[in-house]
């Protein structure tokens, strides 16, 4: 069948590939096109990495544990020597014990074989224990390094990278390395040492018979070259598609309420089936490669064994070879192919690990767009003076979100930023926190350019309450304490009382020790917002940012939060972004921002008197209410 396939210009691999697909070609190609469109450009360039470079970087994590690796290799060498000696002992038992009719000699070789088997088990157990510890420890180190690196990356990175793809790299790709680092490395050494030992022993026993058994090696080399040339691409495709699958799954579960609201279940299921089927077919291709190679090795081993039995039997009948030597040779031929199978399996693991390493190191090589200057210094305690000088900024090169923004806030002043959605209000806050750097101009805090100080010391001075409140899994007390871990229970409770959170917290089943659930799912929107206020209160910042902090709560809760903020803002420089203009009437400065420019600024009464843009916004909102 393979010859017919070859005559039609179709390789054996293509034939197997077509046989494995259950869908029509046109439907399969359409699905692959849809999935391929989802693959990011960054992942298509991963193949440019060299195995030697990846291997060197990967083993940088193994260097602290090299003594354990050396110990495991020593145990592995001892085990390999004992394994290679087994068939020879069996041959000697046959020739010197059974053929000579000596029971004592036979007993000696039998006991020696048992002793060798027990020592082999003991050495192997020690090797497994060492490698299990080292492999899992290295994987834990890699995962920690990745997690730390993710915290160094800026918001721009997360705006362009799905959470599911990151989870795939932290979990799936790292797990692909675990088997390689734990078993494959010393497995290769063991296979090589065992193979060398068996080859040497076979040549010593009978070099002519050894050459007969090696006659299948050219076919094995050809099969290996054919297989190894395709396996990397297959594993790379598998890792890419499981990343897409995990990313879409994460997004679907997180947005399940929206999905049900818009009855998108059928479309989502169809799209998931596309991704799932694409991953399945990539796995099928990987399985087909293994099913082509490993059974091929088995067939070649049977051919070699048949040759040895045929030629060796002829030599035994001619008294040119002893029966014991022939039996030992047959056992050696069987064991000769065991390390070859193991090397093939380890090569499988190696290619899978290299494909995973490409993706992991591509992530680790992603440098944050923002970094502290080499001579950056700690900002230290501040008074809270903030100044924007001719600030221009755009998220993209040809985009301009803020234009020549000038702003000055004295310590303790309240600055309100108002305007329509998309005017650039939140961008002002992101620049102040140095989530992004200005394109032109500069931002000063107490006279210090924020690009000259460390980001950590700057953000320690900021307290932020956002419209979309994020609570972490854990207790109420842990979420309040999030910005100040050393705070005592009394300080946590005082912060809750300050913003009025104590009223609903005390009604919870376990009070401050109640679990808030994932993303605060056990609490209402208003309760989550009040807890965020308590968190900001406890952090005791010098600059306070309220980004639509009361837009998601009812009027009664808004008044409660507003009273708490009145106390919280006392003596602090505050920036308030609000659509509800009744919350900013007491501000020292109100900046009306439109298309990235400040079109009006002043106090509430002053702006109303001008009957300009602020007057329009205020009267429109008042009429609606």
Torsion sign, CA atoms 495, 498, 499, 503 = positive
What pLDDT shows up at residue 31?
52
Nearest in space to 290 (alpha carbons), one of 349, 335, 333: 349
Point out the least confidently predicted range of 239-243, 534-538, 557-561: 557-561
- Classify strands 597-602 and 589-594 as parallel, antiparallel or unpaired: antiparallel
Identify whether residues 230 and 137 lie together within a single domain. Answer: yes
Q: How far apart are the first and last CA of the chain?
A: 80
Asked if 405 and 353 sit in the same domain, the reply is: no
Question: Please, are residues 38 and 164 in contact by the beta-carbon 8 Å criterion?
Answer: no
Q: Find the domain containing 234 and state its range.
A: 59-364
CA atoms of 366 and 528, how far apart (whole Å)? 34
CATH number, domain with residue 450: 3.40.50.300
67-84 pLDDT, tens digit per residue, is 887 888 888 778 877 877
pLDDT grade for 41, boundaries at 50, 70 and 90: very low
Length in residues, the chain: 625
Cα dist from 268 to 37, 263, 275, 397, 440, whole Å: 17, 10, 11, 34, 44
Pairing of strands 386-393, 402-409: antiparallel
For residue 512, the model assigns a pLDDT of 87
b/e per residue 18-46 (b: at least 16 CB within 10 A): eeeeeeeeeeeeebbeebeebeeeebeeb
Token digits of residue 398: 């040809």
Q: Which residue did the predictor score with more confidence, 532 or 385? A: 385
Query: Is residue 433 domain-resident?
Result: yes
Q: Give me 186's structure tokens.
A: 């010393």
Q: What pairing do the DSSP bridges indicate for beta strands 440-445 and 597-602?
A: unpaired
CA–CA dist 204, 209 (Å, integer): 10
Across the range 534-558, mean pLDDT stands at 75
User: Which two structure tokens, joined as six digits, stand for 138?
Assistant: 């290295």
**3-state class (DSSP) for residue 141:** helix
Tokens representing residue 502 in the block: 């104590």
Q: Please give the pLDDT value at position 36.
A: 52
Higher pLDDT, 169 or 546: 546
**CA–CA distance, 187 with 193 (Å, rounded to integer):** 10
β-pairing verdict for 440-445 and 543-547? unpaired
Strand partners, 416: 576, 590
Query: Using CA atoms, how far apart are residues 250 and 247, in angstroms rounded to an integer?
Result: 5
Q: Which of 97-106, 267-276, 559-568 has the highest mean pLDDT?
A: 267-276
Higher per-residue confidence, 443 vs 316: 443
CA distance linking residue 206 with residue 547, whole number of Å: 85
Q: What is the pLDDT of residue 24?
A: 45
Confidence band (pLDDT; 50, 70, 90) for 442? very high
Helix 323-364 to helix 217-254 angle, to the nearest 10 degrees? 40
Question: Could you tell me if residue 369 is inside a domain?
Answer: no
Residue 307 lies in a domain: yes
332 and 429 in one domain?
no
The tokens for 592 are 């009306």
Does any domain span residue 175?
A: yes
8 A C-beta contact, residue 525 and residue 468 = no
Query: Residue 301 falls within a domain, yes or no?
Result: yes
The reply to whether 525 falls in a domain is yes
Mean predicted confidence (pLDDT) in 26-34: 54
Q: What is the C-alpha to C-alpha distance for residues 163 and 257, in angstroms, rounded to an integer?
A: 18
Q: What is the pLDDT of residues 369-405, one digit of tens each?
A: 788 888 999 988 888 899 999 999 988 777 788 988 9
Rounded CA-CA distance 390/400 in Å is: 13
pLDDT at 177 over 60: yes
Q: For residues 474 and 23, give the distance between their C-alpha atoms in angstroms, rounded to a whole number.
A: 47
Does 128 lie in the same domain as 89?
yes
**Would residue 68 be called left, alpha or beta, if left means φ above 0 and alpha means ψ between -120 and 50 degrees?**
alpha
* Most distant CA atoms of the chain, gap in Å: 122
Confidence of residue 45 (pLDDT cuts 50, 70, 90): very low
Give the residue from 331, 364, 397 where a domain finishes: 364
For the cut 50, the answer to whether the pLDDT of residue 5 exceeds it is: no
Rounded Cα distance, 44 and 54, in Å: 17
Of 43-57, 255-269, 407-421, 550-564, the range with the highest mean pLDDT is 407-421
**Residue 290 pLDDT:** 67
Residues 124 and 258 in one domain: yes
* 44-53, 246-255, 312-321, 552-561: range with highest mean pLDDT: 312-321
Distance separating alpha carbons of residues 31 and 33, to the nearest angstrom: 5
* Number of Cα atoms under 13 Å in the Cβ half of residue 478: 11
Q: 379 in helix, strand or coil?
A: coil
Q: Which range is least confidently modeled, 81-85, 269-273, 455-459? A: 81-85
CA-based nearest residue to 416, from 587, 612, 551, 572: 587
In 507-612, which residue ranges form alpha helices assigned H by DSSP?
Answer: 525-539, 555-568, 604-610
Residue 120 sits in a domain whose CATH number is 1.20.1560.10
| Residue 457 shares a structural domain with residue 529 | yes
Same domain, 105 and 196: yes
Residues 174, 234 within the same domain: yes
Of the residues 364, 399, 428, which one is the last residue of a structural domain? 364
Q: Which two tokens stand for residue 297?
A: 């090795």
Q: What is the pTM of this model?
A: 0.64
Task: Please report whether residue 2 resides in a domain.
Answer: no
- The pLDDT confidence band at residue 443, using thresholds 50, 70 and 90, is very high
Select from 334, 364, 394 the last residue of a domain: 364
Output phi, psi for 254, to 5 deg. Answer: -65, -35
**Which of these, 228, 529, 205, lies nearest to 350 by C-alpha position?**
228
Q: Which residues are bridge partners to 66 per DSSP?
A: none
327 and 246, same domain (yes or no): yes
Report how far residue 339's alpha carbon sits from residue 380's, in angstroms, rounded to the nearest whole number.
63
Bridge partners of 407? Answer: 388
Lowest mean pLDDT among 21-35, 50-64, 203-217: 21-35
Q: Do 431 and 322 lie in a common domain?
A: no
Say what percent of the chain tops pLDDT 70.
Answer: 84
- pLDDT, residue 46, reads 40
Which tokens sit at 114? 């048992």
In a domain, 500, yes or no: yes
Alpha-carbon radius of gyration of the chain: 35
> Count of domains in the chain?
2
**219 and 303 inside one domain:** yes
- DSSP states of 43-102 as a string? HHTGGGS-HHHHHHHHHHTTGGGHHHHHHHHHHHHHHHHHHHHHHHHHHHIIIIIITTT-
Q: What is the DSSP letter of 180?
A: I
Residue with tokens 């899978």: 352
The pLDDT value given to residue 590: 92
462 membership: H or E segment, kind and range: strand 462-465
Query: In whole angstroms, what is the distance from residue 280 CA to residue 134 CA?
Result: 32
> CB of 538 within 8 A of CB of 487?
yes
Specify whether 398 is located in the same domain as 471: yes
Q: In 255-364, where does DSSP find H-type helix?
A: 256-261, 265-317, 323-364
Contact (Cβ atoms closer than 8 angstroms) between residue 60 and residue 145: no
């Amino acid at each position: 069948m393979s010859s017919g396939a070859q005559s039609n210009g179709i390789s054996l691999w293509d034939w197997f590939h077509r046989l494995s697909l259950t869908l029509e070609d046109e439907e399969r190609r359409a699905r692959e096109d849809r999935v391929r469109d989802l693959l990011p450009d960054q992942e298509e360039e991963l193949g440019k990495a060299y195995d030697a470079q990846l291997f060197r970087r990967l083993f940088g994590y193994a260097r602290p544990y090299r003594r354990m690796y050396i110990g495991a290799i020593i145990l592995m060498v001892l085990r390999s020597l004992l394994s290679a000696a087994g068939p020879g002992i069996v041959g000697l038992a046959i020739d010197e014990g059974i053929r000579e009719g000596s029971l004592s000699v036979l007993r000696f070789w039998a006991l020696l074989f048992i002793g060798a088997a027990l020592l082999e088990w003991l050495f192997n157990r020690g090797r497994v224990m060492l490698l299990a510890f080292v492999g899992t420890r290295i994987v834990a180190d890699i995962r920690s390094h990745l997690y730390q690196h993710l915290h160094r990356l800026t918001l721009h990175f997360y705006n362009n990278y799905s959470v599911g793809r990151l989870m795939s790299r932290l979990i799936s790709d790292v797990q692909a390395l675990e088997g390689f680092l734990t078993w494959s490395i010393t497995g290769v050494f063991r296979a090589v040492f065992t193979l060398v030992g068996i080859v040497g022993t076979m040549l010593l026993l009978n070099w002519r018979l050894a050459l007969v058994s090696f006659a299948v090696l050219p076919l094995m080399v050809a099969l290996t070259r054919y297989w190894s040339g395709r396996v990397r691409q297959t594993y790379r495709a598998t890792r890419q598609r499981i990343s897409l699958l995990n990313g879409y799954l994460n997004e679907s579960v997180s947005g399940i309420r929206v999905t049900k609201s818009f009855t998108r279940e059928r479309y989502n299921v169809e799209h998931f089936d596309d991704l799932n089927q694409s991953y399945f077919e990539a796995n099928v291709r990987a399985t087909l490669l293994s099913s082509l190679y490993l059974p091929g090795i088995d067939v070649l081993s049977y051919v070699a064994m048949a040759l040895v039995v045929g030629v060796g039997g002829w030599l035994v009948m001619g008294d040119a070879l002893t029966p014991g030597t022939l039996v030992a040779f047959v056992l050696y031929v069987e064991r000769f192919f065991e390390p070859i199978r193991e090397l093939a399996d380890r090569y499988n693991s190696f290619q899978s690990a290299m494909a995973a390493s490409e993706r992991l190191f591509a992530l680790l090589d992603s440098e944050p767009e923002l970094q502290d200057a080499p001579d950056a210094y700690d900002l230290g305690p501040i008074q809270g003076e903030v100044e924007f000088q001719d600030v221009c900024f755009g998220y993209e090169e040809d985009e301009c979100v803020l234009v020549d923004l000038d702003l000055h806030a004295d310590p303790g002043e309240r600055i309100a930023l108002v305007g329509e959605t998309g005017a650039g209000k939140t961008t002002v806050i992101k620049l102040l926190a140095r989530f992004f750097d200005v394109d032109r101009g500069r931002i000063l805090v107490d006279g210090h350019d924020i690009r000259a100080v460390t980001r950590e010391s700057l953000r320690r001075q900021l307290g932020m309450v956002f419209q979309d409140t994020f609570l972490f899994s854990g207790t109420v007390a842990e979420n309040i304490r999030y910005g100040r871990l050393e705070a005592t229970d009394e300080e946590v409770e005082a912060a809750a009382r300050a913003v009025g959170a104590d009223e609903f917290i005390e009604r919870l089943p376990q009070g401050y020790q109640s679990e808030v659930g994932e993303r605060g799912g056990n609490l209402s929107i208003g309760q989550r917002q009040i807890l965020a206020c308590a968190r900001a209160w406890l952090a005791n910042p010098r600059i306070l940012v309220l980004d639509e902090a009361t837009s998601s709560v009812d009027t009664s809760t808004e008044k409660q939060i507003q009273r708490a903020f009145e106390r919280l803002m006392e003596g602090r420089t505050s920036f308030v972004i609000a659509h509800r203009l009744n919350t900013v009437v007491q501000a020292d400065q109100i900046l009306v921002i439109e298309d990235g420019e400040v079109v009006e600024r002043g106090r509430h009464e002053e702006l109303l008197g001008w009957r300009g843009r602020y007057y329009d916004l205020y009267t429109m909102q008042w009429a609606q209410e």
